[in-house]
Structure 1
Amino acid sequence: MSFPWAKQYEPKAPLMRYLDEKLPLPRFLYNAVGGGYPVPRNLNYWWNFGVLAGFCLVLQIVTGVILAMHFAANAGVAFNSVEHIMRDVNWGWMLRYAHANGASFFFIVIYIHIFRGFFYGSYKAPREMVWLLGVVIFLLLMATAFMGYVLPWGQMSFWGAKVITGLFGAIPIVGEPIQIWLLGGYAPDNAALNRFFSLHFLLPFVIAGVVILHIWALHIPGSSNPTGVEIKSESDTIPFHPYYTAKDGFGLGVFLIAYCLMVFFLPNFMGHPDNYIPANPLSTPAHIVPEWYFWPFYAILRAFTADILFVPAKLLGVLAMFSSILVWFFLPWLDKSPVRSGHYRPVFKKFFWVLVVDMAVLFYCGGAPAEEPYVMLSQIATAYYFLHFLVILPIVSMIERPNPLPFSITEAVLGSDDKAVMAANATPAT
């Protein structure tokens, strides 16, 4: 977003002046994350998670590239190559634990980032494209994480691949050919492992490209803020650097403390013990579960246990699982409220917290055995999940009466904002 009061980049050193003239990379960085990018002055720590997600992506790419140097994408030796990394490669144990736990922390950060967007209406105009690209990033991240989970070729890796790819077989006519194409055969084997390894290595760089588009789309309208009120004057903003670089640095420090505690003291806490058993196609685990970050969608998949109108339950579960994420694409148009922030929407705020509880139930049921009462709880939670987005949210957005909004961001932070009032009065009515 272009602000007339934004500081302009003025290189002083001869080398920087030359570089700015021939390849204006310093100017680009200054305008993107430096003093030349004014941001709302009232951003809280919930806005740290975008930077943390970027850090997690870099962490996963760096550790993943190094691990790929030692991993053998062959069904006969993949499990042993992981053990080789853990036991024989210098610092291999740390790299492997950093990568595995980095995936879990990446999803923790992403889920918080998404629910912050739900509450503060980050999907509303003029930031619809920012939101849509964010959902694309989440889908790519899920695909990357699933393929990465298969690579160690342990029991849960093998059977997780068999179950998840088997879902495509539920699609009429084209389902089975797609499943065979994905696996390179009729069951997970060497061809599937090679394909998943190639895609797992490639997709993070695709994600990085979409992240660049995500940030680019964000800079056009500018950052949102906890009030949902747009910037009206210079007093509403402060430079991104040094104010928010310092704030993001503090958040990153807290994140790294929690991350390092997990890597060094509880490295297998978020993993599954069956994945330390080599894959055996003839021995089915008693309880097949994906990684924890897939649990809510796995619960939605398993919630359908009976055919409806001659539509198989398995197909209904597959459609519901994918629809549970695809519905996010339509949020900018499902929520018709002119007010963005949940702080000023009392009815919306109550239903938001019900949704949080509902997601917690789906998380719990997704990791539980496929038996009662977990199946029934999954069905209730799934029904409410779709009810929230497709029925409750549109109705609430049309009938609720929001609380009064502050005139400007500065008024919400400091009280009266004479500069914003004068600027508004001086702007011709349109």
Structure 2
Amino acid sequence: MSYPWANEYKPTHPVMVWMDEKLPLPRLVYGAVGGGYEVPRNLNYFWNFGFLAGLCLMIQIVTGVVLAMHYAPNTLVAFDSTEHIMRDVNWGWLMRYAHANGASAFFVVVYIHIFRGFYFGSYKAPREMIWLLGVVIFLLMMATAFMGYVLPWGQMSFWGAQVITGLFGAIPLVGEPIQHWLLGGFAPDNAALNRFFSLHFLLPFVILGVVILHVWALHIPGSSNPTGVEVKSESDTVPFHPYYTAKDGWTVGLFMVLYSAVVFFAPNMLGHPDNYIPANPMQTPAHIVPEWYFWPFYAILRAFTQDFFFVPAKLMGVLAMFAAILIWFFLPWLDRSPVRSANYRPLYRKFFYVLVVVMAVLFYCGGAPAEEPYVMLSQLAALYYFAHFLIIVPIVSSIERPDPLPYSITESVLGPQPAKA
């Protein structure tokens, strides 16, 4: 958002003056992340995760391009080419481990970013478009991650592709043709591997494009803040640079320490050991699971075990799994409370913490075997998950009595200011 007190870009060097006249790229950068972009002065560290998500995306793109130079998308040699990268390519092991663990880091950061939005009401007007584009980014991330998981062509890669694409077969009439179209055949094979490799390479650049739209949409109303109170005066804001570039820089340093510790000392911690076994269509693994970041939605899928009248359980599970994410698109209109931040919504805050616990249960059950008591826990957690968004949030937003809001962002930081004489 362009505030009247924001600094304007005024180049002094002749080269920069010429550049500003012919191609005002420096002006664009200055207005987007420099001193020309004013942000609320009370942003906490949860607002750093948006920047970290962008960093993770760039790590994935750079390492992915390098890996694509050595990977062979052919079922006869895909597994061997992955091992070739690990053993024979200079620094290939680092590129692969950085890429594989970078995907996990990306999802950790984005999950925190999403739940920050839930807590502080970042999806509310006038920032609905920012939220909607964020959900689109998350869906694209899931598609990209699934296709990337198939590429090593290990046991879990093959059977993961078989199970996930098989979900489309549950759709009446058109499901089986869609499944065959996705795979390019009746089962995961060379055609599927080539398609997944092409899309896995392309989609990160699509994500980058949507991220640019996401940031563009953010600059129209400006950043939200922990109070949910809009900017009222110059004292409520500070320039993004140097205040928040320094804060982001500190967070990036901490993130890179943790990320590097995993890459160098525990690179296979989040992977599945069966994926170091070449794909074998004749031998089904004892326990097929997707990557950990899919577990809550996988738990919702498996929560449906009984047919409902003429609707098969598998179809209901598939619909519920997709609905668990699509429901986020409607959150700006389901939550009708005029107060954004849960800091001032005591009843909503309690239910938010229950949602966090429920998501933790879904994560755990998604990675557990499909047996009791995990199936029953998944059913109870899935029931609450949908009830939270469809029933609890609308009711709470109508009956809740919020706490008093501060008059301004400055007041929330410095306390009530004495009246001027």
Q: TM-score range by the shorter chain?
A: over 0.9
Q: What does residue 83 of structure 2 align with?
A: 83
* Structure 1: distance between partners of 2:303 and 2:339: 34
Q: Deviations over 1:359-383 (max 9, x none)?
A: 0000000000000000000000000
Give the drift of 1:418: 6.7
* Structure 1: distance between partners of 2:278 and 2:337: 53
Q: What does residue 233 of structure 1 align with?
A: 233
User: Which secondary structure does the structure 1 equivalent of 2:339 belong to?
Assistant: coil
Q: What does residue 20 of structure 2 align with?
A: 20
User: Which secondary structure does the structure 2 equivalent of 1:130 belong to?
Assistant: helix
Q: What does residue 385 of structure 1 align with?
A: 385
Q: What does residue 123 of structure 1 align with?
A: 123
Q: Tell me how large the CA RMSD over aligned residues is.
A: 1.0
Give the drift of 1:417: 4.3
Maintained 8 Å contact 2:123/2:332? yes
Q: What does residue 51 of structure 2 align with?
A: 51
* Structure 1: distance between partners of 2:309 and 2:402: 42
Give the drift of 1:384: 0.3
* Structure 2: distance between partners of 1:125 and 1:99: 36
Q: What does residue 428 of structure 1 align with?
A: none
Maintained 8 Å contact 2:75/2:190? yes
User: Which secondary structure does the structure 2 equivalent of 1:336 belong to?
Assistant: coil
Q: What does residue 68 of structure 1 align with?
A: 68
Identity %: 79
Give the drift of 1:2: 1.7
Q: What does residue 111 of structure 2 align with?
A: 111
Give the drift of 1:309: 1.8
> How high is the TM-score relative to the length of structure 1?
0.97
Give the drift of 1:416: 2.6
Maintained 8 Å contact 1:295/1:366? yes
* Structure 2: distance between partners of 1:103 and 1:226: 28
Maintained 8 Å contact 1:130/1:218? yes
Q: What does residue 328 of structure 1 align with?
A: 328
Q: What does residue 395 of structure 2 align with?
A: 395
* Structure 1: distance between partners of 2:266 and 2:13: 48
Runs (4+) of structure 1 exceeding 6 A deviation are: none
Q: What does residue 2 of structure 1 align with?
A: 2
Tell me, yes or no, if structure 1 residue 343 matches structure 2 residue 343: yes
Structure 2, gaps ≥5 residues long: none
* Structure 2: distance between partners of 1:173 and 1:26: 54
Q: What does residue 242 of structure 1 align with?
A: 242
User: Which secondary structure does the structure 2 equivalent of 1:70 belong to?
Assistant: coil
Maintained 8 Å contact 1:408/1:417? no
Q: Deviations over 1:211-238 (max 9, x none)?
A: 0000000000000000000000000000
Alignment of 1:359-378 (within 5 A): 359-378=359-378
Maintained 8 Å contact 1:9/1:30? yes
* Structure 2: distance between partners of 1:111 and 1:322: 17
Tell me, yes or no, if structure 1 residue 97 matches structure 2 residue 97: yes
Letter in 2 for 1:215: V
Alignment of 1:399-414 (within 5 A): 399-414=399-414
* Structure 1: distance between partners of 2:30 and 2:48: 19
Q: Deviations over 1:24-61 (max 9, x none)?
A: 00000000000000000000000000000000000000
* Structure 2: distance between partners of 1:332 and 1:239: 29
Structure 1, gaps ≥5 residues long: 423-430
* Structure 2: distance between partners of 1:415 and 1:393: 31
Letter in 2 for 1:22: K
* Structure 1: distance between partners of 2:397 and 2:418: 32
Q: What does residue 209 of structure 1 align with?
A: 209
Q: What does residue 415 of structure 1 align with?
A: 415
Q: What does residue 173 of structure 1 align with?
A: 173
